[in-house]
């Protein structure tokens, strides 16, 4: 996701919706997360996001969880060392996924040398708190170590490195991470130019996407395998390229199970109906659709809440049963829009209006549809 920061700045500049100046963060508080919810208006008999999601058979999660003990971006390492972070994460969500811990240069920094410390910690936390751990970043446009890049001119050696890497990582977490983003952001940022010229493309050509899914399926035949992409809700040409890419994979018998939509929103919601259109297209191919990295970059908390509510409501009504945010507290925010605070809890773990918009979207969906979880999620909830 970080690779697209500059592109998302451009997106924000191109939007027409005006932004209201952010009025400042909440002061530090000694309240527990539960007390904060009550004082903010949550003491109305309605449960946490996790409780509301369970009624609907929905996975509601947080991505961008950093569990490594080292950091390369100046931000604190191992968010799970913070008791308040742990408590809110476990209380509010039933799934989680890593930020960079699974990307190649972090999990195998030297050829044949793997660092699983952070991932093991993440998976253990998920198990202890009855959460589903999802694999994110198996292949991405960034974060490839020099020893892998050096193999670009030798496709056989490059593919062999992929096989070894996938086997080592996926077999270690077999039965612990059952859903993987195999390829992230294969298309050019704004669309119209097909596949990005990534290291994988340079080594293996346009067939690298299909090859990655085949290698992943061989490593863990029971895992659900997803393609992760960004900005398709805003750019029709890129959306069509995604449709063409994925339908081609399905037609060729490639073992792909779903599409993960990142959904990094800036200043305004996607056009109404776009999420539904995408879900209908991929469902017609027999694929699942998830929202993998939802956040909303605005300056106005009320506008932010409206956008969160609109996205989650349309996603649920369209049939999406797996929604993850790109983090949940502004304590660990990342934004390409200076001054924006994109997440649903502030830096002191107080729920923002966006939190209640998401919770109400879940509650309204349950009231409209009833509380019988879809069969696809019943097994997950009973684990």
Sketch out the chain's domains with CATH numbers: 31-382 (3.20.20.80)
pLDDT given at position 37 = 57
pLDDT given at position 264 = 98
pLDDT given at position 70 = 73
pLDDT given at position 40 = 42
Spans of the chain below 50 pLDDT: 2-32, 34, 38-43, 45, 375-383
pLDDT given at position 342 = 99
pLDDT given at position 47 = 84
2: which 2 tokens? 């970080």
**pLDDT tens profile 286-321:** 999 999 999 999 999 999 999 999 999 999 999 999
Nearest partner of 271 among 307, 243, 305, 303, judged by Cα: 307
pLDDT given at position 376 = 43
Global pTM value: 0.88
Active-site position among 229, 233, 265, 293: 293
Active site (annotated) includes residue 91: no
Nearest partner of 311 among 342, 339, 340, judged by Cα: 342
First to last CA, the chain: 31
Nearest partner of 345 among 49, 9, 6, judged by Cα: 49
pLDDT given at position 69 = 85
pLDDT given at position 38 = 42
Q: What whole-number distance in Å separates Cα of residue 236 and Cα of residue 98?
A: 29
CA separation (Å) from 327 to 63, 170, 341?
5, 24, 11
pLDDT given at position 131 = 99
233: which 2 tokens? 């809700």
Nearest partner of 120 among 133, 110, 104, judged by Cα: 133
- With the C-alpha atoms ordered 139, 140, 145, 146, is the resulting torsion angle positive or negative? positive
Active site (annotated) includes residue 314: no
pLDDT given at position 177 = 98
Contact predicate 213/250, CB 8 Å: no
Contact predicate 340/354, CB 8 Å: no
Active-site position among 52, 132, 185, 229: 185
Q: Reduce the DSSP state of residue 83 to 3 states and report it.
A: helix
Nearest partner of 269 among 299, 291, 298, judged by Cα: 298
């Amino acid at each position: 996701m970080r690779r697209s920061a500059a592109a998302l700045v451009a997106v924000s500049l191109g939007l027409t919706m005006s932004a209201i100046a952010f009025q400042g963060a909440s002061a530090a508080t000694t309240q527990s997360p539960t007390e904060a919810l009550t004082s903010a208006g949550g003491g109305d008999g309605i449960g946490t996001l996790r409780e509301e999601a369970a009624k609907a058979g929905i996975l509601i999660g947080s991505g961008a969880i950093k569990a490594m003990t080292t950091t390369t971006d100046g931000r604190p390492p191992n968010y799970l060392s913070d008791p308040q972070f742990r408590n809110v994460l476990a209380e509010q969500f039933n799934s989680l996924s890593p930020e960079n811990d699974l990307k190649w240069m972090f999990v195998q920094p030297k050829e044949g040398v793997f660092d699983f410390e952070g991932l093991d910690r993440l998976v253990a936390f998920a198990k202890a708190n009855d959460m589903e751990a999802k694999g994110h970043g198996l292949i991405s446009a960034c974060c490839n170590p020099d020893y892998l890049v050096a193999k670009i001119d030798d496709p056989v050696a490059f593919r062999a490195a992929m096989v070894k890497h996938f086997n080592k990582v996926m077999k270690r977490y077999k039965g612990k991470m059952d859903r993987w983003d195999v390829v992230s952001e294969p298309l050019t940022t704004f669309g119209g130019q097909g596949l990005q010229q990534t290291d994988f493309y340079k080594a293996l050509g346009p067939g690298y996407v299909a090859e990655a899914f085949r290698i992943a399926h061989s490593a863990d035949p029971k895992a659900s395998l997803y393609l992760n992409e960004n900005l398709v809700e805003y750019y029709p040409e890129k959306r069509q390229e995604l449709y063409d890419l994925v339908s081609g994979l399905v037609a060729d018998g490639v073992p792909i199970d779903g599409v993960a939509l990142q959904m990094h929103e800036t200043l305004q919601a996607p056009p109404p109906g776009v999420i539904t259109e995408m879900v209908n297209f991929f469902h017609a191919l027999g694929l699942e659709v998830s929202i993998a990295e939802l956040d909303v970059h605005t300056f106005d908390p009320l506008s932010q809440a409206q956008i969160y509510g609109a996205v989650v409501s349309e996603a649920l009504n369209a049939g999406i049963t797996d929604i993850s945010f790109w983090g949940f507290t502004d304590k660990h925010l990342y934004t390409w829009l200076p001054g924006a605070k994109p997440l649903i809890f502030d830096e002191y773990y107080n729920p923002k209006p966006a939190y209640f918009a998401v919770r109400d979207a879940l509650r309204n969906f349950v009231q409209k549809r009833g509380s019988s979880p879809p069969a696809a999620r019943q097994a997950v909830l009973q684990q």
